[in-house]
Chain A
């Protein structure tokens, strides 16, 4: 427990460091947000630009701005979007669920299918299916995710129109909750597959490797020697030990998944956090950008801690010496 407390305490400091670093980066770097905002309005006089700078406090000394910002964040106030004039927290909350849905579905699909495939092919490691898995895992990982997405759009936009290629829902639809869920699921298929393929590729290979290792372990040999049914041996004992590495890796890759989500959301017009983040970079919408950077980092830190805890619970033999392992 002490370890966990220390870990949490340290993580708070880490997040503070993230805030300071990102704020400094964005505010000290070239690129005038006032011009962007003025450009939105038709780029009026220099007066307008000066007004904007004053309204946003861009002319205050840097440390004042930084201090103010950190103080605000501590109270849960992420500021107001330059572009939309709305509280950043509100904007983020609105976009959080679609991204969560996308990443969650993609990862679940990748883990479940990956483990199944890995288990299946571990029992027949030299089969064509197994070789196919290897090939697929290499190609799946090597394909740029936005390219995969675009190919799917090409396929499903014109020729075979089974799935919508844009957006999260049909805005016209006014049905009951079930119809709305089905509509969203319908829109979710292509983006989730696009994002999931990358991880499916890795997890199927990883779980196969883990399964192979476990199947050859003393533990399983003993169980077999005892005469337990093959099925029980495989699916009950080996499986659990093989799943662990996959889940661990998935947890560690959470940060990457957000990056992948950003690209997938861009290709499929999925209204999530990734797209908001990309827009905020181009629009120089610093509060939103900072908010997302902080949120994302915080999520990663939390997931790391959780993975830590779960890992220790599952296998207390493993000595977890902190993030460095």
Chain B
């Protein structure tokens, strides 16, 4: 469930990170900063939240399905087992974020490597690698991931691997496009002329200039990975020993009519997290491409 990045960056020109200018533009973008703040808050809650609110999310603490503020129910109510919804929200992020992080790492490593090699060398290597990319791209992502997770037993690792495997083609394409664009520019020719090795040219020369759109894409893929993970967990393919937001919603499916809070708050958490990544990604895109700003 990845989103196409609209608006590829225009000619970047030569070496020299556009970083500083982009950073300035980013900071001035209020929505992007809001996203960053939101994400920081969420990560903080995930990492340290349990120090401040140390209720065990898997422990039964009160009567099932009590609404927020009802009886002796905690702040956000209890779920169908009598567990604390707030504790679940506070602790649920770690699974989702961990899975997303690992998945995105996988996507980055596989996608960027394949795309870089493909774009740089061209020829039959390009054709072959692109065929492999296409193979993974035509598979229905969610179903494919479900198959992998179901067959290899749901766990944080299998879910992350499944998401990674289902999501890398787009990054490969993007990287390849960037490399195709950049490899014939002057500064690259110069590097080649000076006798640099292929490896050095790819990673030290071209890759840093391909970074901006890749960073944007990776940020957006983080958000997509979180949606992906929560979707899988919702369907029942999350790590059963963890407490992810998607899993909370999925488990409450049969009883949610009796307790809207059991699905609303975990969903809000997912929404907020993905939104923060979207805002940041958006902001980065605007920062790297000032011409396209204001869309």
Interface residues of A (CB under 8 A from B): 10, 14, 17-18, 21-22, 25-26, 29-31, 125, 138-139, 141-147, 150-151, 153-154, 157-158, 202, 205-206, 208-209, 212, 245, 249, 252-253, 255-256, 258-260, 262-263, 266, 277-278, 281-282, 289, 292-293, 296-297, 300-301, 304, 322-325
Contact = CB atoms under 8 A, between A and B. Distances in A.
A146 B247 CA distance: 12
A147 B263 contact: yes
Majority DSSP secondary structure for residues of B touching A: helix
A144 B256 CA distance: 16
Interface stretch (B12-20, B48-56, B147-155, B189-197): B147-155
20 contacts: A21-B135, A25-B147, A25-B148, A30-B152, A138-B275, A143-B267, A144-B234, A147-B249, A147-B270, A154-B256, A202-B3, A209-B6, A209-B292, A249-B4, A262-B142, A277-B146, A289-B143, A292-B140, A293-B147, A304-B138
B275 A142 contact: yes
B139 interface: yes
B188 interface: no
Interface residues of B, number: 56
Contacts, number: 156
Contact of A260 (B1, B138, B139): B1
Question: Which residue, A202, A212, A249, A323, has most C-beta atoms of chain B within 10 A?
Answer: A323
A256 B3 CA distance: 9
Given A150-B256, A259-B143, A263-B142, A253 B4 contact: yes
Interface in B248-289: 249, 253, 256-257, 260, 263-264, 267, 270-271, 274-275, 277-279, 282
Interface stretch (B58-66, B67-75, B79-87, B223-231): B223-231
B266 to A, nearest CB: 8
B295 A17 contact: no
B256 A297 contact: no
Interface string B148-183: 101111000000000000000000010011000000
Nearest to A141: B278
Contacts of A205: 295
Given A263-B234, A323-B130, A300 B138 contact: yes
